[in-house]
Amino acid sequence: MASTGGEESVEKLADIRVPIVDILASNVREVWPSLLHSIKYSSFIAIDLELSGLGDRKLLNRKSHHGGPNSGSHKNYLRAVDDRYMAIVEAAKTRSVLALGVSCWRVTKDDPEPCYYVQTYNVLLLSRDNYTVEPDALQFLVSHGFDFNRQYRDGVSYTPSTEDMIVFKEKKQAEPIRELFGAILRAQCPVVTHNGLIDLAFIYQAFYAPLPPTMSIFVADLQDMFKSGVLDTKCLAEYLIREPATYLEYLFRKCCKRMTESIENEKPRIHLSFSEHKAVSKWVNKASCFASRQSLAGQELCEVFANHGHCKEGTSCPKSHNVDDAIQSHERKSKKRKMEDQKKDKEVKGSLDTGCHRAGVDAFMTGFIAANYAIYLAQNPSKAKGEDGSHGSSKKTHYKSRDNHMSVTLEENREIPLPAVLDPCRKAVNCLTLSGKNIPLKIMKS
């Protein structure tokens, strides 16, 4: 299942520890060749960012009642999307990227089951420009073990893009992080994100060039930059598989559960092997992200956390924030809903610390979700089409526009060069989640 050489038993899934290389200002020269080699030979690359803030949440999550791109209020829809984009631009210009996670996934064999060799890196960053750190972001990061002292002491320096800076091609040699981003673009393999719109905007602003004035220009640039496409695991989960919750740790734990069931039932699943990183072993940390947390007996589940992955009370919340409990709760509700739907049809007819929220760990989780969803969709094509009916009749109309849109997207994506292992996810390639919208944002030229 997972190893650095041999196979691990099913019983040891929770004991697997993912090696992650920390890249700092003090070791960047020694580690950099390994990172660039990993990127060059990747089948796909998963990325994740830690940010100093997101700006005005109300503007970022602004909902529109003007319909979608095919509605009669198309201009209003575009205006709402551009308003949201401008809020993202403002955040990217005034906030900072604190860490970049890069998880490189290389297919070593894809028949009869996909085998991956995984190398993951956590790049600690320090902006040379002044930036805003939001109290909520500070509290969140500190509560999940982010060391700001280490960041200021040993972060890899970078200069965010400004209107008067020299062009990217001249600047990239001066700063390692711009060389890194250039290597990702040159690799010409799919880039996998989770809820990737904001991350991609921050990456563009910080490591590439000033963000363009409109969303349409931005997504057209993304299409030019990422020739092999972008895959958003949140979009994949929400629009195709239709998970009841779509935050990162929930999807990761759900995929772990499915993978364990596949092994026990001798069904197809992915196989993982990890680099031992012998040349840079002193900078390797191993994350126990497969470990599950133990709940307190009789502790009530926090429904807000279960559905969204966070609640405003944070660590002071007296209710359970256990993701495994959330999954079990959703599965019970799904079974109850199916039974109610069947009844209606008859009437008509007659815990441990997982290390989550470090950029490197989250990048690995993102790649793991994509790899597992690909094999899951290959085995369950009806899930991608929404034919399982798991959400009940009340949401059929809600999903109809999504199904139509994603079918069109599939045809548009035929020419994108995906590795065979990701082909079952083709419908969702170059689509980014837009919260509050029935359809995703399409990466395409206008």
List pLDDT tens digits, range 327-366: 666 656 555 444 444 333 333 322 333 445 689 999 999 9
pLDDT at residue 63, rounded to an integer: 58
The span from the CA of 179 to the CA of 187, in Å, is 12
- Confidence check: pLDDT of 376 > 50: yes
- 3 state SS of 50: strand
The span from the CA of 16 to the CA of 230, in Å, is 28
Q: Distances in Å between the alpha carbon of 436 and those of 63, 77, 81? A: 5, 12, 11
- 106's tokens: 């290389």
The span from the CA of 227 to the CA of 230, in Å, is 9
The span from the CA of 226 to the CA of 387, in Å, is 32
The span from the CA of 43 to the CA of 421, in Å, is 9
User: 234, 197, 194, 243: which is closest to 218 by C-alpha?
Assistant: 197
pLDDT at residue 389, rounded to an integer: 44
Q: Which of 55-64, 91-100, 206-215 has the lowest mean pLDDT?
A: 55-64
In contact, 428 and 231? CB cutoff 8 Å = yes
- Confidence check: pLDDT of 311 > 80: no
Q: Cα torsion for 249, 255, 258, 263, to the nearest 10°?
A: -120
- 406's tokens: 């994603």
- Confidence check: pLDDT of 82 > 50: yes
pLDDT band at 9 (very low <50, low <70, confident <90, very high): very low
> Residue range 110-117: average pLDDT?
90
pTM: 0.81
Q: Please, which residues have CB within 8 angstroms of residue 215's CB and are 6 or more apart in sequence?
A: 81, 82, 84, 85, 441
Q: Is the peptide bond before 112 cis (omega within 30 degrees of 0)?
A: yes
Summarised one tens digit per residue, pLDDT across range 163-194 is 665 444 454 456 899 999 999 999 999 999 99
Determine what percent of the chain is predicted with pLDDT higher than 70: 68
The span from the CA of 144 to the CA of 358, in Å, is 8
The span from the CA of 48 to the CA of 289, in Å, is 15
Summarised one tens digit per residue, pLDDT across range 221-257 is 999 999 999 999 999 998 888 888 899 999 999 999 9
Residue type, 423: D
Q: Which of 8-17, 80-89, 129-138 has the lowest mean pLDDT?
A: 8-17
Summarised one tens digit per residue, pLDDT across range 268-310 is 999 999 988 888 899 999 998 887 665 555 567 676 566 666 5
pLDDT band at 45 (very low <50, low <70, confident <90, very high): very high
Summarised one tens digit per residue, pLDDT across range 396-435 is 434 455 555 555 556 667 889 999 999 999 989 999 998 7
User: 365, 269, 275: which is closest to 41 by C-alpha?
Assistant: 275
Angle of the 323-349 helix axis to the 248-264 helix axis, nearest 10: 70
pLDDT band at 370 (very low <50, low <70, confident <90, very high): very high
pLDDT at residue 391, rounded to an integer: 39
pLDDT at residue 61, rounded to an integer: 66
- Confidence check: pLDDT of 382 > 50: yes
Compute the mean pLDDT over every residue in the chain, rounded to the nearest whole number: 80
pLDDT at residue 240, rounded to an integer: 87
380-386 long-range Cβ contacts below 8 angstroms, 24+ apart: 381/424, 383/240, 383/241, 383/242, 384/240, 384/241, 384/424, 384/427, 386/240, 386/242
The span from the CA of 166 to the CA of 135, in Å, is 33
pLDDT at residue 172, rounded to an integer: 45
The span from the CA of 372 to the CA of 378, in Å, is 10
pLDDT at residue 312, rounded to an integer: 65
